[in-house]
């Protein structure tokens, strides 16, 4: 008989049609599509029915029986916590971190003087920093500054709202550091400003040193502590423009972001962790399923994502992006690593109607519910040629990671979608583009026919590459180079991409394995098979292997039935479970 195994997942729905005889299960065809609606909803069942009929049409045969696992729908959310609040530093930054067209060189500090006030300047020996407002013609600005220099006005630097620093510098008699693309709208006459421009390829020195900034602005030595973060953000900048802050602002109270309660291991009881203090430190040790309650007050960053579902949160996982910045020293401004992406697993408020009834009605054929989805995933993955019979199976989907080993089952928040969110936050991309960027190796287009690869090698392209890709980091989507960033070299992005994947996938798989019984006593699995959509990532085996190097677990990618790769494990597993039950009943 022809039987269909149907896996309605959180992200994709997969179907395998197979011929089932007393002797064997023979897969005939497999199809997949994005899940419509939430898992277990009427829309998802209708989508599954359409997928079954599409597979039957392609095969030219009709399934006599449909198999479904129990559908336990969960809602997965991915959001970001803001960086921890800090007390405001005495200085504020005027320049755009992405500005790349300064002029001149050196460091200067002086009193602010708007360009318009140079026409009839009062006599002064005080060093001046001139501001050029938006909309000012560069020739007019240069002529005014040149006249003031000729009149021996002590102009030591300039800040420009537009991007005309080089054009102005080429038209004035005395070279001064000029920083453009700055916010000059709120500056007041006499306000103390510092500008610094390094030579091409160089980096600021004074602006990146909190002690030097204290001396330059005449601040109290204690201010150096508060200036440390600002100085660090400028460490890789070629130019900087800073002004004294007029009023101090205090950091927000940490309790405003909310907290979670989880059951600690070893009988320690319930542990409470504020979202903006300590969550990233313990996220890798929270056992999947141990979260008891999440509290998110109105107005907090996660309120829109979690709402009033705090009592139904089963698991939480956070990605410590700031720690990546501290360990890998990416150039400041090249990526954004201040936020903390977070995923939560939320049980539905109510149980949906039985899906087997709706599926039977939509397809006009019998539907049988099988005992376990996780058991089916293990059965399907273990059809991988060469797989040990006692291997643990890790199903990495879009919203969750499901770990199966023997009779143990764990479901954790945070998988492919959380990685997408993390990549999108780091590179400032839309989620759709980040979904592709995370999967593929990158290259930089250095000339119309020359590309620079992640291993440092160069290649020649026979056809001319698109103009919008020149000088930019790209990935190849189909045959078309798609720009990602103009701030990163391929080697840098490769290193950061692997770091992101280890922090999201590697750490999460590791915490799932630690949640298995017997692991802490050295009786855990010796091998692990990765399956599911996220396992299609070419770097997934390496990332998980690196994370599990300590426990010494061998990691491999599933190849379901020796032909489907890491997909279709549940769908095929349902067929194998059905066959075993049929044989057991004979």
For residue 448, give the CATH number of its domain: 2.40.50.140
pLDDT at 70: 87
End-of-domain residue from the set 203, 228, 244:
244
Does an H or E element contain 229, and which? helix 223-233
The two structure tokens encoding residue 178: 């000029």
For residue 50, give the CATH number of its domain: 3.30.420.40
End-of-domain residue from the set 437, 462, 488:
488
Which residue, chain included where needed, has tokens 């054009």?
A: 167
Specify if 58 maps to a domain.
Answer: yes
3-state secondary structure of 537: coil
The two structure tokens encoding residue 157: 């630097």
Residues 238, 270 within the same domain:
no
Sign of CA dihedral 283, 419, 14, 33: positive
Residue 214, domain extent: 91-244
Specify if 546 maps to a domain.
Answer: no
CA angle 501/503/509 to nearest 5° reads 85
The answer to whether the beta carbons of residues 544 and 512 sit under 8 Å apart is no
C-alpha 198/C-alpha 234 separation (Å) is 12
Residues 445, 308 within the same domain:
no
C-alpha 526/C-alpha 398 separation (Å) is 26
CA 124 to chain centre: 53
Smallest Cα–Cα separation from 3: which of 585, 21, 566, 381?
21
pLDDT at 300: 84
The number of folded domains in the chain is: 4
Residues 237, 170 within the same domain:
yes
Specify if 374 maps to a domain.
Answer: yes
What is the pairing mode between strands 554-557 and 527-531? parallel
The answer to whether the beta carbons of residues 25 and 575 sit under 8 Å apart is yes
Smallest Cα–Cα separation from 36: which of 4, 13, 69?
13
Q: How many CB atoms lie within 10 A of CB 423?
A: 26
Specify if 389 maps to a domain.
Answer: no
pLDDT at 254: 45
pLDDT at 252: 44
3-state secondary structure of 382: coil
pLDDT at 129: 96
Sign of CA dihedral 435, 439, 443, 448: negative
pLDDT at 250: 44
The two structure tokens encoding residue 294: 């999440």
**pLDDT digits (tens), the chain, 586 positions:** 999 999 998 889 999 999 999 999 999 999 999 999 888 888 999 999 999 999 999 999 999 999 999 887 777 787 888 766 666 678 999 998 878 899 999 999 999 999 999 987 667 789 999 999 999 999 999 999 999 999 999 999 999 999 999 999 999 999 999 999 999 988 999 999 999 999 998 999 999 999 999 999 999 998 898 898 889 888 889 999 999 876 544 444 444 788 999 998 877 789 998 887 678 888 888 999 899 999 999 888 888 888 888 889 999 999 988 888 877 788 777 888 888 889 999 887 766 678 899 999 999 999 999 988 888 999 999 999 999 999 999 999 888 899 999 889 999 999 999 999 999 999 999 988 999 999 989 999 999 999 999 999 999 999 999 999 999 999 988 888 999 998 899 999 999 999 999 999 999 999 999 999 888 767 889 999 999 999 999 999 999 999 998 778 999 999 999 999 999 999 999 999 999 988 765 5
Residues 155, 289 within the same domain:
no
Specify if 525 maps to a domain.
Answer: no
Rounded alpha-carbon distances, angstroms, from residue 176 to 120, 143, 196, 338: 21, 15, 10, 34
Specify if 519 maps to a domain.
Answer: no
Specify if 261 maps to a domain.
Answer: yes
pLDDT at 334: 84
């Amino acid at each position: 008989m022809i039987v269909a195994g149907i896996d309605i997942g959180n992200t994709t729905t997969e179907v395998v049609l197979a011929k089932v005889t007393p002797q064997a299960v023979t897969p005939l065809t497999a199809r997949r599509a994005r899940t419509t609606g939430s898992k277990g909803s009427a829309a998802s069942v209708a989508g599954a029915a359409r997928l079954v009929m599409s597979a039957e049409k392609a095969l030219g045969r009709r399934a006599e029986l449909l198999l479904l696992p129990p559908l336990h729908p969960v809602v997965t959310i991915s959001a970001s916590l803001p960086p921890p609040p800090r007390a405001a530093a005495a200085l504020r930054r005027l320049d755009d971190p992405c500005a790349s067209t300064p002029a001149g060189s050196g460091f200067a500090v002086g009193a602010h003087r708007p360009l318009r006030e140079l026409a009839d300047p009062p006599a002064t020996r005080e060093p001046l920093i001139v501001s050029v407002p938006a909309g000012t013609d560069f020739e007019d600005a240069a002529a005014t500054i040149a006249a003031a220099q000729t009149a021996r006005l002590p102009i030591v630097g300039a800040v420009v709202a537009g991007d005309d620093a080089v054009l102005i510098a080429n038209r004035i008699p005395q070279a001064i550091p000029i920083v453009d693309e700055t916010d000059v709208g709120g500056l007041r006459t006499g306000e103390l400003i510092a500008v610094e421009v390094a030579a091409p390829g160089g980096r600021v020195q004074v602006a990146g040193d909190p002690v030097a900034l204290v001396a330059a602005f005449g601040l109290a030595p204690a201010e150096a502590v508060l200036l440390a973060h600002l100085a660090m953000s400028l460490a890789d900048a070629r130019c900087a423009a800073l002004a004294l802050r007029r009023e101090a602002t205090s950091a927000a109270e940490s309790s405003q972001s909310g907290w979670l309660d989880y059951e600690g291991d070893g009988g320690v009881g319930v542990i409470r962790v504020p979202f903006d203090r300590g969550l990233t430190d313990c996220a890798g040790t929270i056992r999947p399923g141990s979260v008891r309650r999440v509290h998110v007050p109105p107005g907090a960053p996660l309120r829109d994502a979690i709402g009033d579902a705090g009592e139904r949160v089963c698991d939480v996982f956070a990605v410590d992006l700031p720690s990546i910045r501290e360990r890998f020293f990416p150039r400041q401004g090249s990526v954004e690593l201040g936020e903390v992406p977070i995923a939560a697993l939320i049980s539905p408020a109510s149980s949906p109607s039985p899906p087997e009834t709706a599926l039977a009605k939509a397809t006009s054929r019998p539907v049988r519910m099988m005992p376990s989805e996780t058991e089916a995933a293990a059965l399907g993955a273990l059809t991988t040629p060469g797989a040990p019979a006692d291997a643990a199976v890790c199903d990495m989907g879009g919203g969750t990671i499901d770990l199966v080993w023997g009779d143990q089952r764990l479901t954790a928040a945070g998988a492919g979608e959380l990685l997408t969110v993390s990549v999108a936050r780091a590179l400032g991309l839309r989620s759709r583009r980040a979904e592709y960027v995370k999967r593929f190796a990158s290259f930089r287009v250095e000339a119309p026919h020359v590309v620079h690869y992640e291993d440092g090698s160069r290649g020649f392209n026979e056809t001319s590459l698109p103009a919008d890709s020149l000088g930019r980091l790209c990935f190849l989507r189909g045959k078309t180079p798609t720009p990602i960033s103009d701030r990163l070299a391929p080697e840098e992005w490769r290193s950061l991409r692997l770091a992101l994947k280890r922090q999201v996938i590697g750490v999460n798989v590791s915490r799932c394995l630690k949640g298995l019984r017997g692991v802490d006593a050295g009786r855990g699995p010796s091998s692990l098979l990765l399956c599911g959509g996220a396992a299609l990532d070419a770097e997934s085996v390496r990332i998980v292997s690196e994370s599990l190097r300590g426990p010494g677990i061998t990691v491999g990618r599933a190849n379901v039935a020796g032909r489907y790769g890491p997909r279709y494990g549940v769908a095929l597993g349902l067929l194998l479970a059905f066959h075993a039950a049929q044989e057991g009943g004979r």
